[in-house]
């Protein structure tokens, strides 16, 4: 922890610059450049809406939480885009920035921070677009929206800490990177994005789903952005500290602590080997 903390001191401004730089790198050279950051998610969202709502559900209308399915899907997808990009790009981040590892004495843990931060910028923009769509479709702001300032920073920190493990391990062994890519392809379906985990009828499966930290964010975003209009959810608490969600919040924080410890362990264990293997 202290190594990582020390590496970040006095480097704050530089992290912002490098994050900005990261975005340029990702989107330069394309004709519509930064618009790809929006076009891809919109297209993905449309395809899933089409397949799920019109194809599978035959255009039934209401979603598991009582909104039009498109709204339900959109609010679930916005955090997922961040999660997916951060896990995949985060794992590759050290390899992609290998010149900082092998050529100069660089605070390596900041590589994961600025990579994640760059994805966060994109995600904040997507969130803004989502808010516009929500307001236009009659989902007006409510006090629950304030939870965004809890979930978004928490999501950022959680995935930075996850990268402390995945990035050095992927840099060390390319097979580990492939393993993550494979896992992520399937992990989407194990996370409640196209469905609501609370609707699962088999109780023990439903309970297990609470242990997937991605569900914590995806469902959290839903409570945050349309918590005031959830007719099918009755009087369930929409606050992360409310009686219905407290146990999930506790599970999440236990997992978070574990990921932090694991990350520190893996980072410290591999940090010194990285210049020799890249």
Partner 1 sequence: MSVEEPIISFENITKTYTLYKSDQERFKALFLNSKHFKKHIALNDISFQVKKGESVGIIGDNGAGKSTILKMITGVTYPDTGSIVVRGKVAALLELTAGFSLEMTGRENIYLKGYILGLNDKYIATIEQGIIDFAELGDYIDQPVRTYSSGMKMRLGFAINISIDPDILVIDEALSVGDGKFQKKCKDKIAEVIGQNKTVLFVSHSMSGVKEVCQRAIYLKQGKIMFDGSVDEAFEMYQSNKAAAKK
- For partner 1, the binding residues (CB under 8 A) are 10-11, 13-14, 17-18, 21, 24-25, 28, 99-107, 169, 172-176, 272-273, 275-276
Instruction: Provide the minimum distance between the beta carbon of 229 and partner 1 in the complex, in angstroms, as a whole number.
Output: 43
Answer yes or no: are the C-beta atoms of 53 and 220 closer than 8 Å.
no
By beta-carbon proximity to partner 1, the closer residue of 100 and 253 is 100
Instruction: Provide the minimum distance between the beta carbon of 13 and partner 1 in the complex, in angstroms, as a whole number.
Output: 8
By beta-carbon proximity to partner 1, the closer residue of 21 and 207 is 21
Instruction: Provide the minimum distance between the beta carbon of 24 and partner 1 in the complex, in angstroms, as a whole number.
Output: 4
Answer yes or no: are the C-beta atoms of 123 and 82 closer than 8 Å.
yes
Answer yes or no: are the C-beta atoms of 162 and 259 closer than 8 Å.
yes
| Residue 227, phi-psi category: left (phi > 0), alpha (psi -120 to 50), beta (remainder) | alpha
Reduced DSSP (H G I as helix, E B as strand, rest coil) percent helix, strand, coil of the chain, to 5: 75, 0, 25
Instruction: Provide the minimum distance between the beta carbon of 166 and partner 1 in the complex, in angstroms, as a whole number.
Output: 11
By beta-carbon proximity to partner 1, the closer residue of 104 and 202 is 104
Both structure tokens of 113: 């921070």
By beta-carbon proximity to partner 1, the closer residue of 140 and 174 is 174
**H runs (alpha helix) in 97-143:** 98-102, 109-136
Answer yes or no: are the C-beta atoms of 194 and 203 closer than 8 Å.
no
171 Cβ contact list (under 8 Å, min separation 6): 94, 95, 98, 101, 270, 274, 277, 278
Instruction: Provide the minimum distance between the beta carbon of 10 and partner 1 in the complex, in angstroms, as a whole number.
Output: 7
By beta-carbon proximity to partner 1, the closer residue of 173 and 207 is 173
């Amino acid at each position: 922890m202290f190594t990582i903390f020390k590496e970040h001191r006095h480097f704050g401004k530089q992290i912002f610059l490098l994050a900005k730089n990261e975005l340029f790198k990702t989107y330069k050279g394309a004709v519509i450049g930064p618009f790809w950051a929006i076009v891809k998610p919109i297209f993905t969202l449309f395809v899933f809406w089409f397949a799920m709502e019109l194809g599978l559900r035959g255009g039934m209308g209401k979603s598991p939480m009582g909104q039009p399915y498109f709204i339900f899907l959109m609010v679930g997808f916005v955090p997922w885009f961040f999660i997916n990009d951060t896990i995949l790009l985060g794992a590759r981040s050290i390899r992609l920035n290998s010149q900082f590892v092998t050529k100069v004495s660089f605070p390596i843990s900041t590589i994961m921070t600025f990579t994640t931060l760059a994805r966060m910028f994109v995600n904040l923009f997507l969130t803004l677009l989502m808010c516009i769509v929500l307001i236009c479709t009659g989902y007006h702001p409510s006090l629950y929206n304030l939870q965004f300032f809890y979930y978004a920073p928490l999501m950022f920190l959680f995935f930075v800490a996850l990268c402390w493990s995945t990035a050095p391990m992927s840099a060390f062994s390319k097979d580990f990177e492939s393993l993550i890519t494979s896992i992520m392809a399937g992990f989407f379906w194990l996370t409640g994005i196209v469905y609501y985990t609370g609707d699962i009828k088999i109780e023990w499966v439903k309970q297990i789903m609470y242990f997937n930290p991605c569900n914590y964010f995806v469902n959290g975003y839903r409570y945050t952005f349309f918590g005031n209009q959830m007719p099918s959810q009755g009087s369930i608490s929409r606050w992360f500290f409310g009686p219905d969600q407290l146990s999930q919040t506790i599970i999440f924080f236990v997992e978070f602590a574990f990921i932090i410890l694991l990350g520190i362990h893996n980072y410290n264990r591999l940090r010194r080997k990285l210049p020799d293997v890249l």
